Structure 1
Amino acid sequence: MTESPRAAPNPRRRSERSRRAILSAALELCAENGYGRVTIEGIAARAGVSKKTIYRWWATKGAVLLEAVIEAVVSTSPLPDTGDVDADIVTHVTSVMRAFTSPVIGPAYTGILSELLHDEALARAVNEELVRPRVALVHERLAAGQRAGQLPPDADLELAVEMLYGPLYYRHALKRPFHEPDRIAVLVAHVMRALRAPAAS
Structure 2
Amino acid sequence: MVGDQGTAKRGRPRSPQVRAAVVRAAVELALDGGPGAATVDAIAKHAGVSRTTIYKWWPSSAAIVLEGLLDSVHASIVRPPGSSSPAALHHHVRELNRILAEPRTGPLLRNVIAAAASDQAITRAVIDQWIAPRREAVAEILRQAVAAGELPGSTDIEVAVDALVSPPYYRLTLGMPPLDDAAAGRLTETVWRGLIE
- Shorter-chain TM-score bucket reads 0.7 to 0.9
**CA contact under 8 A between 1:22 and 1:44: conserved in structure 2?**
yes
What residue number does 1:186 align with? 186
- Counterpart position of 1:157: 157
Q: Letter of the 1:109 partner, please give it.
A: L
Between the aligned partners of 1:93 and 1:129, the Cα distance in structure 2 is 18
Match of 2:72 in 1: 72
More displaced, 43-52 or 92-101?
A: 43-52
> How much does 1:162 deviate?
0.7
Instruction: Work out whether residues 63 and 126 of structure 2, in 8 Å CA contact, stay in contact via their aligned partners in 1.
Output: no
Structure 1 stretches of 5 or more lacking a match?
1-7
Structure 2 counterpart SS, 1:14: coil
Aligned to 1:16: 16
TM-score, length-normalised on structure 1?
0.80
Cα–Cα, structure 1 residues 164 and 109, in superposed 2: closer, same or farther, change >3 Å? same
| In structure 2, distance between residues paired with 1:53 and 1:161 | 36
Bigger Rg over Cα: 1
Structure 1 residues 57, 104: closer, same or farther in 2, change over 3 A? farther
The 1-side partners of 2:129 and 2:112 are apart by: 13
| Offset of residue 108 of structure 1 | 4.1
The 5 A counterparts of 1:52-91 are 52-80=52-80, 82=82, 84-91=84-91
The 3-state SS of whatever aligns with 2:137 is helix
Q: Equivalent residues in 2 for 1:1-201 (5 A)?
A: 12-80=12-80, 82=82, 84-102=84-102, 105-197=105-197
Secondary structure at the counterpart of residue 118 of structure 1: coil
Preserved CA contact (<8 Å) 2:99 2:105: yes
Q: Gaps spanning 5+ residues in structure 2: where? A: 1-7
3-state DSSP of counterpart to 1:153: coil
Out of 103-112 and 89-98, give the one that drifted further. 103-112
Instruction: Give the percent of matched residue pairs that are identical in Structure 1 and Structure 2.
Output: 34
Q: Quick one: distance in 1 between partners of 2:22 and 2:107? A: 17
d(CA) in 2 for partners of 1:104, 1:23: 17
